[in-house]
Amino acid sequence: MALSLDDVGHLLATRGGNQYGGEAVTQLEHALQCAQWAEKSGETPATVVAALLHDLGHLLAPGGDSTQHDDLHQYVAIPFLRGLLPDAVLEPIRLHVDAKRYLCATESGYWERLSSASQLSLHLQGGPFLPKEAMRFAAQPFAQEAIRLRRYDDLSKVSGAITLPLAHYLAVADVVAQGPLAQATVVHS
């Protein structure tokens, strides 16, 4: 059952006012900050949309207290978005928790820089990858996009940060949903 982009916008606009786990921002502020980091960093429109929607699972199926159990939110949104958006959006969303496990295993100092809520959820999500798991993760399509998304995710917990409005990023999502031809037209126009 795919959502429409109108449904996605409605969810973000109405349920996005909830607090984002133990962080200082709402879900919507977090999504907009993450999309803005991706766009400012020169990511493709698809990766910008992945950044916007990476935590949509929290809004579709609020999993209760994610400090108590792994809510598996990275998987929840996928069936709702398949058919609407391409793998270039869906895969970084699906992989963004594994990207944290990867970075904790491979980059010294990364774990220490995570927020305490994120450190706690890492533990529930299985902890840092073992070396073999890290290699398997990095070999998957869109793993690099997921790792970059993860870094934007970590930066997007700033109370009161100014962003462009939701409508701007929904317009990007609309172009991505229309397919490669529409994206090429926007890039070259």
Residue nearer to Fe ion on the CB measure, 151 or 182: 151
Q: Which residue's Cβ lies closest to Fe ion?
A: 153
Nearer to Fe ion, 21 or 45 (CB): 21
How near is the Cβ of 184 to Fe ion at its closest, in Å? 29
Residues β-bridged to residue 85: 82
Identify the bridge partners of residue 26 per DSSP, sorted by sequence position. 19
| Residue closer to Fe ion (CB basis): 92 or 128 | 92
In angstroms, rounded to a whole number, what is the distance separating the alpha carbons of residues 59 and 144? 25
Closest distance of CB 180 from Fe ion, Å: 27
Structure tokens at 144: 């690099």
Interface residue with Fe ion among 23, 39, 43, 55 (CB under 5 A) is: 55
SS3 content of the chain, % helix, strand, coil (to 5): 65, 0, 35
Calculate Rg over the CA atoms of the chain: 16
Query: Is 98 one of the binding residues for Fe ion (CB under 5 A)?
Result: no
Residues in contact with 49: Cβ distance below 8 Å, sequence separation at least 6, in sequence order: 35, 85, 89, 169, 172, 173, 176
Total number of residues shown for the chain? 189
Site for Fe ion in 13-42 (CB under 5 A): none
Least separation in angstroms between residue 179's CB and Fe ion is 27
Instruction: Decide if residue 91 touches Fe ion (CB under 5 A).
Output: no
Nearest approach, Cβ of 74 to Fe ion (angstroms)? 9
Cβ distance to Fe ion smaller for residue 142 or 183: 142
Quick check: 153 binds Fe ion (CB under 5 A)?
yes
DSSP helix/strand/coil, 26? strand
With CA atoms as reference, report the closest residue to 39 among 165, 180, 182: 165
State in angstroms the smallest separation of the CB of 31 from Fe ion. Answer: 8
**Where on the chain is the footprint of Fe ion (CB under 5 A)?**
55, 153
